[in-house]
């Protein structure tokens, strides 16, 4: 008898059955206005995309039931990775140089009922971060190395396009950062609803 009960319970949980609320999930129509502090529009675009991907949320440009208001509270970048500098003979020096950064963004989120102008969810803060590596494009040691024959060779042929200056690497890390933050926002709304 115990084995049958255990089998029945495992069968129900493996099929996605959950004990709890038996409400019918309805699609939530929402519009996403331009995000305050998003100067290039990438974050707004990514959030609209994540809302559209959700099976329970429906993005509408107009005539929606809710407004998803988001504001960027802070954006900062911290150095997290270093390496020793080297001289022209490839000998290690005592000073170190930064080679890796972490970019962090914090956003405030509110879901507002358009009809009543009442905040239905929030305000709450969501945080996401993204790491990126970079090189100093003016440094001979970052762009070349001494091979086994003692000749200086460029690392560009071995880099597979991964050597970027700090500005380009920071810009390239924005897409995964905004994607991560947008997923967290949508997941929080779905967990609440």
Q: What is the CATH number of the domain that holds 100?
A: 3.30.160.150
> Does residue 102 lie within any of the structural domains?
yes
What is the Cα–Cα distance from 193 to 181, expressed in whole angstroms? 19
Tokens of 46: 């990514």
Q: What is the mean pLDDT of residues 55-81?
A: 92
> Does residue 183 lie within any of the structural domains?
yes
Predicted pLDDT of residue 97: 77
Q: What is the mean pLDDT of residues 25-48?
A: 91
Tell me which of 25-34, 72-81, 180-189 is least confident.
25-34
pLDDT tens string 146-160: 677 877 766 655 554
Tokens of 72: 């960027």
Q: In this model, does residue 5 exceed pLDDT 90?
A: no
- Terminal Cα distance for the chain, rounded: 38
What is the Cα–Cα distance from 190 to 55, expressed in whole angstroms? 10
Predicted pLDDT of residue 143: 63
Give the pLDDT band of residue 20 (cuts 50, 70, 90): very low
**How many domains is the chain built from?**
1
Mean pLDDT of the chain, nearest integer: 80
Does residue 109 contact residue 188 with C-beta atoms inside 8 Å? yes
Q: What is the mean pLDDT of residues 26-39?
A: 91
> Does residue 3 lie within any of the structural domains?
no
Residues of the domain holding 73: 26-192
Q: What is the mean pLDDT of residues 173-181?
A: 94
């Amino acid at each position: 008898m115990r084995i049958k009960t255990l089998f029945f319970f495992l069968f129900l949980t493996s099929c996605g059955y959950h004990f709890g609320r038996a409400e019918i999930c309805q699609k939530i129509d929402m519009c996403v206005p331009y995000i305050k502090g998003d100067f290039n529009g990438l974050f707004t675009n990514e959030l609209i995309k994540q809302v559209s991907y959700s099976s329970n949320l429906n993005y509408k440009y107009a005539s929606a039931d809710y407004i998803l208001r988001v504001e960027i509270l802070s954006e900062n970048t911290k150095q997290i990775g270093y390496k020793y500098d080297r001289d022209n003979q490839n000998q290690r020096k005592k000073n170190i140089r930064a080679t890796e950064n972490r970019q962090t963004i914090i956003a405030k989120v509110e879901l507002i009922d358009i009809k009543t102008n009442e905040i239905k969810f929030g305000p709450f803060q969501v945080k996401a971060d993204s790491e990126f590596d970079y090189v100093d494009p003016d440094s001979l040691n970052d762009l070349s190395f001494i091979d086994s024959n003692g000749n200086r060779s460029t690392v560009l042929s071995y880099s597979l396009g991964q050597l970027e200056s700090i500005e380009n690497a920071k810009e390239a890390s924005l897409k995964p950062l905004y994607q991560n933050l947008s997923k967290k926002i949508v997941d929080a709304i779905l967990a609440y609803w």
